[in-house]
Amino acid sequence: MTDADFLKAESKWKTYVADTYETRSACQLVPGELRDIRDYLLAFGDLYHFQIWVMILAGVKMFLRCDDVINVDIVNFLQKYFCLCDLDVSGLCLQVKGKSDETFKTGHDKICPDD
């Protein structure tokens, strides 16, 4: 590749980036914010808010993008791995497949002691 070829390719790339690049910010949660979110969600004491907490926690542990976490659906929760004691939920399991993942990844808030 000559200097002219390089400069031409660089110019095409810069034009492409200028026309198509969209700045998307990603914010990180610090540990104190995660604890506040956890305390808030778990205070409800119901499955729905516990599932939201597991989604957030799995996203953090698995370094998922916000898009991957937001698109999680109820079918992504694997009920056979739930840890239940009477009406108390002590553990949930979630499967997520990111854009570059070939298979589902599993995230959970804790390992069930009975497993």
The model carries a pTM of: 0.55
The domain in which residue 66 lies consists of 30-108
Residue 21 lies in a domain: no
13 belongs to a structural domain: no
- Whether residue 81 lies inside any domain: the answer is yes
CB 108 within 8 Å of CB 94: yes
Residue 19 belongs to a domain: no
Structurally, the chain folds into a number of domains equal to: 1
DSSP states of 2-37: -HHHHHHHHHHHHHHHHHH----------HHHHHHH
Q: What is the pLDDT of residues 24-66, one digit of tens each?
A: 666 677 888 888 998 998 888 887 888 888 888 877 877 777 7
